[in-house]
Structure 1
Amino acid sequence: MTRYDLTHPLTDGMPVYPGDPAVSVSPAATMAADGYRVTGLALSTHSGTHVDAPSHLLADGRGLDAYDVGTFAMDAHLVGVEAGPREAITPDALPADDSADVVVLRTGFDAHWGTPRYRDHPYLAPETADALAERGQHVALDAASPDPSPPTGDADGEPEGYPAHRALFEAGLLVFENLRGLDALPSRFRLTASPLRVEGDGAPVRAVAVVED
């Protein structure tokens, strides 16, 4: 089997969602001064490649601690998204096979990581999120959000707020954001995306695709 790392590195000053705390990675002890190395790390629960739990937006939503560790090892179905910048991903993009634990959306916007264009990714139409919620499938994507990212600009028909997040969260489902390197993957694979063990609304993950040779 072959493993593919789908995770953006955590680096000092890396891109964050508008309004989120900055990421800081800096030396706290050095070999030259202290004889050993310790690195200070400051970040939010939604930094880099991460998972959103329902408590992110729902007052009574489940936190990550409510999910069994096995939840984060999933059968995945990869879908290539043909929607353009700030266009809605409609239900006809979803795979007919609904047996996968997670639908992974390849938008190609990981190529724009660290640039303003990264915020112009496609997003789930509300009815698409509703369909996934009914099917009980988690969502993962190589973009910042399944909802439009700010600033929303003048795009016609963009939903306000976070309807895709809410539809999925109300069904107890998880959202994995900011994946990378999906181009090398087949349509079916095993995805592991284990978060840091925090009782929170989200956490960084190490996302890895496992592909049978």
Structure 2
Amino acid sequence: MQVVDLTHFLSQDMPVYPGTEGPRFESANTYERDGFQETRMTMYTHTGTHVDPPAHLFPGGATLDRLPITQFVGTALVIDCTDLREGGRIAMDRVERRRADADMAEFLLFRTGWDRYWGDPRYFGDYPCIGDDVAEYLVQSRKKGVGLDTIGLDPIAAAALPLHKKVLANNAFVIIENLTNLHLVGHSLFTLCALPLKHVGADGSPIRAIGLIED
């Protein structure tokens, strides 16, 4: 079995959503003073490669800790959209080309190639996004979630987050943002593990996303 890391590194100088404070890593205990090393981490729940549950936008919506652990593991398919230009929309025809596998998948992951701009101001620019028809398909086909290698499901200028609201409204769906290395999992179905931290009332969490590929 091959294991592919789909997660960006966390660091103090990493990209974060505009207006959000970056993570801080401070020495809490040292070898010299305490005989061991320990670090205090301070970060927002939507830092780096992370997952959004319904509670991110809906009062009373499911928090991560209220969703079953099976929500974060399942069959996934990467749909290549790297030919799209800035501001491009991922239309339903992309899914139709892979419809048999897409219908079987529990997660659809859209590879735009935008992860190549991680650490560059362009990452927060006019990245490709899914269209309304794709969002409707995700809801109607009862997927567990959707993932992208961009900072958001909605365009950066869409403050009302209509696509987030559309897919999260059914209360049994998650959005995975800031994925990377989607080109390494190939074109077939594979197993995605996108496990959040287990904290009470979680409106989001950094994750370690991996792809498991059978030899």
* TM-score (structure 1 length as normaliser): 0.91
- Choose the corresponding residue for 2:114, options 109, 112, 117: 109
Runs ≥4 residues deviating over 2 A: none
Aligned to 2:146: 139
- Aligned: 1:168 with 2:204: no
Identity of aligned residues (%): 35
- Which residues of 2 match residues 141-160 of structure 1 at below 5 A? 141-149=148-156, 152=157
Distance, in Å, in 2 between the alignment partners of 1:130 and 1:83 is: 21
How far apart, CA to CA, are the structure 2 residues paired with 1:165 and 1:91? 17
Paired residues of 1:12 and 1:26 also in contact (CA < 8 A)? no
Q: Distance in 1 between matches of 2:92 and 2:161?
A: 17
The unaligned stretches of length 5 or more in structure 2 are none
Partner SS for 2:41: strand
Q: Is the 8 A contact 1:126 1:163 kept in 2?
A: no
* Structure 1 unaligned spans of 5+: 153-158
* In structure 1, distance between residues paired with 2:168 and 2:7: 23
> Aligned residue for 1:155?
none
For residue 207 of structure 2, give the secondary structure of its aligned residue in structure 1. Answer: strand
Instruction: Out of 53-62 and 200-209, give the one that drifted further.
Output: 53-62
1:63 paired to 2:63: yes
Q: How does 1:71-86 map to 2 (within 5 A)?
A: 71-81=71-81, 82-86=83-87
User: Shift of residue 60 of structure 1?
Assistant: 2.8
Q: 2:23 matched to which residue of 1?
A: 23
1:99 aligns with 2:104: yes
Identify which of 199, 202, 211 aligns with 1:209. 211
Given the two structures, how large is their TM-score scaled by the length of structure 2?
A: 0.90
CA distance in 1, matches of 2:154, 2:84: 13
Deviations 1:66-104, CA, capped at 9 Å, x for gaps: 211122111001100132212111111113131111001
Q: Distance in 2 between matches of 1:125 and 1:115?
A: 25
Contact 1:136 1:171 in 2 (8 A): no
